[in-house]
């Protein structure tokens, strides 16, 4: 079999560590460098002088000179079925769910809506440079099925799961502990570990699951290796008040999930804003991760995520768009909103750290750090090509950047989908800016 090579010229940037703990050794920047890919996998990322030289006849070249070439962005919390409720105004979370989200999610009982929605969703993520996501489907198995099919077709590394909800939601959006178990199990058997796909057991949040259903979710987690557990945690005060009423026996919100074996290394908790010291400690001890969803948290008035506390407790953090509670598919927008949240909490967030969180940091929270989020040799070659001169204003401002941190800062604050010149999956172009 002939080997296939792809060679990419550009300003190569990636992380192999967290810049907050490993400083300069965490990031690798090679202006005018080369990314060499063999059969979809990174063979070399670095200066041109040290690059191996594969047979020219077997090599396809992409010239992105002057542009930044980075690992594709990892969105650690997003709701594909909420694509059409983005930018819907309401007072706060529970009201927003009842008014816009639950009605919209009911449309996904129809497989045709699921299919078209899945395709529209990945068109949107790819044009924003997002190559991997942890996504919450609806309660309908067909919704997860359609996302898996579309991701498989596009060769994406992608994780989703059918949402479990058996109370406090419209009848048409509820399952039962039994159907939740059976349908999830069937999806796990058919999709988990198929190609680049993974499954996340997905109780929506403690408000919408009975004890019996959370018990079933815990049981599902024992059914295969490498499953994730994906849910929401402590996003909103009214939500927290409600779960306290529903689970008076629990010591705190996290403890509800803990009682059903849902807190562990593969657990990803979206939001995690209003936490007690005990909850932070338990998150650390369990190895669970959190998804910081700043645009959603500001949009829904949920609160300010405490990055300082997460850092102090060494809890792995990724960034989540949380569309449609979040206001943009663009990781630049998510980073910019994250920066502002950290400003309000007087916790400095460098652009370098933000880009780490959007790539390798996110991959780590999903247990994917050896596959995506980095250009370490052997990693899967999903990458985004960023144009620092996408607009006249950006060209002017980025032209004044005196170092990499300043350039990344300008991109973080001004960036959007116009800045994504191309997105490649396993080396091949999956999106090219018109
Ligand atoms: N909590 C439970 N469901 C949801 C949801 O769909 N979006 C957000 N932001 N929070 C939730
Ligand atoms: Zn969410």
Whether the upstream peptide bond of residue 324 has omega within 30° of 0, thus cis, is: yes
Contact 197, 236 (CB under 8 A): no
pLDDT of residue 54 exceeding 70, the answer is yes
pLDDT of residue 13 exceeding 90, the answer is yes
Tell me the CA–centroid distance for residue 7 and ligand 2, in Å.
38
- Using alpha carbons only, give the angle 105, 92, 232 rounded to the nearest 5 degrees: 60
pLDDT of residue 12 exceeding 70, the answer is yes
Count of CB atoms within 10 A of residue 329's CB?
A: 26
Domain 5-72+376-432 has CATH 2.30.40.10: yes
Ligand 1, atom 3, lies closest to the CA of 204
State how far the Cα of 15 lies from the Cα of 406, in Å rounded to an integer: 17
Q: How confident is the model at residue 427 (pLDDT cuts 50, 70, 90)?
A: very high
Task: With H, G, I as helix, E, B as strand and everything else as coil, classify residue 319.
Answer: strand
| All structural domains of the chain with their residue ranges | 5-72+376-432, 73-365
Contact 324, 88 (CB under 8 A): yes
Q: How confident is the model at residue 7 (pLDDT cuts 50, 70, 90)?
A: very high
State how far the Cα of 151 lies from the Cα of 130, in Å rounded to an integer: 13
Ligand 1, atom 7, lies closest to the CA of 325
Give the β-pairing of 420-425 and 428-432: antiparallel
pLDDT of residue 249 exceeding 90, the answer is yes
Closest CA to 270 of 234, 314, 315, 221: 234
Please tell me the number of the ligand nearest to residue 302's CA: 1
- Under CATH, to which class is 73-365 assigned? alpha beta
Ligand 1, atom 11, lies closest to the CA of 232
Largest CA distance in the chain: 68
Mean pLDDT of the chain: 98
State how far the Cα of 354 lies from the Cα of 412, in Å rounded to an integer: 8
pLDDT of residue 134 exceeding 90, the answer is yes
This complex has an ipTM of 0.99
Handedness of CA 423, 424, 428, 430 (dihedral sign): negative
State how far the Cα of 365 lies from the Cα of 196, in Å rounded to an integer: 17
Element (H, E) at 153: helix 141-153
* Ligand 1 within 6 A of CB of 325: yes
Within 223-350, residue ranges assigned H as helices are: 237-246, 253-259, 277-286, 294-299, 307-312, 331-344
Average pLDDT over residues 71-77: 99
Average pLDDT over residues 95-124: 98
- Using a cut of 0.95, tell me whether the model's pTM lies above it: yes
Average pLDDT over residues 302-308: 98
Integer CA distances (angstroms), 339 to 148, 212, 364, 405, 433, in order: 32, 40, 20, 14, 27
Tell me the CA–centroid distance for residue 191 and ligand 2, in Å.
22
pLDDT of residue 88 exceeding 70, the answer is yes
Average pLDDT over residues 332-349: 98
Ligand 1, atom 9, lies closest to the CA of 325
Q: Which pLDDT belongs to residue 259?
A: 98
Residue 46: HSE in the Cβ half-sphere, 13 Å Cα cutoff: 8
pLDDT of residue 1 exceeding 80, the answer is no
* Ligand 1 atom nearest to CA at 322: 9
Count of positions (residues) in the chain = 434
Average pLDDT over residues 34-56: 96
pLDDT of residue 77 exceeding 90, the answer is yes
Q: How confident is the model at residue 282 (pLDDT cuts 50, 70, 90)?
A: very high
Average pLDDT over residues 211-239: 98
Tell me the CA–centroid distance for residue 325 and ligand 2, in Å.
7
Q: Which pLDDT belongs to residue 2?
A: 72
């Amino acid at each position: 079999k002939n080997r296939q090579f792809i060679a990419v010229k550009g300003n190569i940037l990636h992380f192999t560590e967290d810049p907050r703990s490993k400083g300069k050794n965490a990031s690798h920047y090679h202006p005018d460098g080369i990314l060499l890919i063999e059969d979809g996998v990174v063979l070399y990322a670095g200066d041109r002088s040290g690059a191996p030289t594969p047979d020219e006849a077997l090599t396809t070249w992409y010239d992105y000179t002057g542009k930044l070439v980075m690992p594709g962005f990892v969105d650690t919390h997003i709701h594909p079925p909420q694509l059409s409720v983005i930018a819907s105004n309401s007072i706060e979370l529970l009201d927003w769910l009842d008014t816009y989200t639950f009605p919209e999610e009911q449309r996904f009982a129809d497989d045709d809506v699921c299919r078209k929605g899945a395709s529209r969703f990945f068109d949107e993520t790819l044009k924003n440079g997002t190559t991997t996501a942890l996504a919450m489907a609806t309660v309908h198995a067909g919704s997860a099925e359609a996302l898996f099919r579309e991701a498989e077709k596009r060769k994406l590394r992608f994780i989703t799961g059918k949402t479990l909800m058996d109370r406090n939601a419209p009848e048409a959006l509820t399952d039962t502990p039994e159907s939740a178990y059976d349908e999830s199990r069937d999806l796990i058997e058919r999709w988990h570990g198929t190609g680049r796909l993974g499954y996340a057991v997905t109780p929506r949040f403690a408000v919408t699951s009975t004890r019996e259903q959370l018990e079933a979710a815990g049981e599902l987690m024992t059914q295969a290796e490498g499953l994730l557990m994906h849910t929401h945690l402590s996003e909103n005060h009214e939500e927290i008040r409600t779960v306290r009423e529903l689970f008076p026996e629990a010591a705190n919100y996290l403890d509800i999930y803990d009682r059903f074996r849902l807190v562990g290394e593969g657990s990803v908790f979206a939001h995690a804003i209003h936490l007690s010291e005990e909850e932070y400690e338990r998150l650390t001890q369990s190895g669970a991760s959190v998804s910081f969803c700043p645009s959603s948290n500001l949009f829904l008035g949920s609160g300010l995520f405490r990055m300082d506390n997460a850092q102090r407790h060494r809890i792995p953090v990724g960034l989540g768009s949380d569309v449609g509670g979040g206001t943009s598919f663009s990781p630049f927008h998510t980073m910019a909103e994250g920066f502002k949240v950290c400003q309000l909490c007087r916790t400095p967030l460098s652009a370098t750290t933000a880009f780490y969180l959007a790539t390798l940091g996110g991959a780590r929270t999903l247990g994917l750090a050896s596959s995506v989020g980095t250009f370490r040799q052997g990693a899967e070659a999903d990458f985004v090509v960023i144009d620092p001169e996408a607009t006249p204003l950006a060209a002017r401002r980025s032209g004044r950047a005196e170092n990499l941190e300043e350039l990344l800062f300008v991109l973080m604050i001004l960036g959007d989908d116009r800045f994504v010149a191309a997105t490649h999956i396993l080396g091949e172009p999956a999106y090219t800016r018109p």
